[in-house]
Amino acid sequence: MKFLYAAYGITWLVHIVYLIILTRGFQQVRDEAEELTRK
Amino acid sequence: MKSGFIILALITLLLLSYGLYQALVAAPTEATMGEVQRIFYYHVPSAWTALLCFLANFVASLWFLAGRSGRADAVAVATAEVGVVFCTVVLLTGPLWARPVWGIWWAWDARLTSTLVLWLIYVGYLMLRKFSVGGPNPMLAAAFGVFGAFNAVFVFMAIRWFRTQQPQPVFGGGPKSGIDPQMRYALMANWVAFLALAILLIWLRYTLQRVRQAVEEAHAMKSLVEPEVRTRR
């Protein structure tokens, strides 16, 4: 059972980490756009 | 647009919950492998989804090479990145299934090796886009993406062309292939859920790429205009 739970856990971890990376990407682009308008 | 995204996100969440229920509760336990076989319901749909993402990347790369469209470039990068995410899941869940069933974590057979090569090709594709000298290089990346798609076909066909450690095809593998209908239903339920998740992630990544392109364009325009203003002064 530990292999089964590990596989399911890892699957969700990979997707959650990717969602966090995407969220950071949006934040970074928003900051860049704000900086551009400020200049 | 925003409400469409929220609706898709909710549908995906429902599908994923239903898929999880099918995989862990509704599907019968396999006779020889036992509970660990349930990894199949995440491993196989992830692999199919990754291959479809790489196929979409192939189409978008050709589209970009033909028309230099910014939209095509955004679709290409989004599908490649989401494909890598799903392929990562395949490469991590595979050994967790193999260890208790085969007694080994990994075998250098045609299917496993070509899957690892496929992952490396698309990681290379993303690195090429990100770290090219002189900024992102969508042209070279698109050509690379077209090349990578051929390996995706090889991965899919490897168990048909070669004798591998992997089981022979469960679907379309002749009269002796096939699985229990309830298992097939659980597998398909998860595939539909993973496809919805992939579309959602591609949508997000595509939007991010389009915003990034707009910001880069604005930067480029500003740097073109600013020296002119300085010269006039």
Domain segments of chain A as ranges: 1-39
Among B81-95, B118-132, B153-167, whose mean pLDDT is lowest? B153-167
Q: How far apart are CA A35 and CA B14, in angstroms?
A: 39
- DSSP state at residue B25: I
Distance from CA of B162 to the nearest CA of A (A): 27
Q: pTM score, two decimals?
A: 0.89
- The answer for B 157-216 residues in CB contact with A (under 8 A) is 197, 201, 204-205, 208, 211-212, 215
Closest CA to B18 of B197, B224, B210: B197
Q: How far apart are CA B7 and CA B1, in angstroms?
A: 10
CA B163 to chain centre: 25
pLDDT tens per residue, range B154-181: 887 877 787 777 776 667 666 666 788 8
| Bridge partners of residue B34, in order along the sequence | B30
Question: ipTM strictly over 0.85?
Answer: yes
Positive or negative torsion for Cα B167, B194, B122, B43? negative
Residue numbers in B near A26 (CB within 8 A) = 208, 211
B90 touches B99 (CB < 8 A)? no
Give the SS3 label for residue B34: strand
Query: Is B38 at the interface with chain A, CB within 8 A?
Result: yes
Among candidates A4, A6, A18 on the partner chain, residue whose Cβ is nearest the Cβ of B38: A4
pLDDT tens per residue, range B37-59: 999 999 999 999 999 999 999 99
- DSSP state at residue B30: B
Angle at A9 between CA B206 and CA A26, to 5 degrees: 25
Domain extent at residue B62: 2-168+176-232
Per-residue confidence (pLDDT) for residue B18, from 0 to 100 = 97
Q: Do the Cβ atoms of A7 and B211 come within 8 Å?
A: no
Angle at A19 between CA A17 and CA A22, to 5 degrees: 110
Give, for B144, the enclosing helix (H) or strand (E). helix B138-161
Closest CA to B100 of B45, B40, B47, B160: B40
The total number of structural domains in chain B stands at 1
Q: Do the Cβ atoms of B96 and A3 come within 8 Å?
A: yes
Among candidates B85, B93, B215 on the partner chain, residue whose Cβ is nearest the Cβ of A32: B215
Q: Chain B: residue nearest A26 by CA?
A: B208
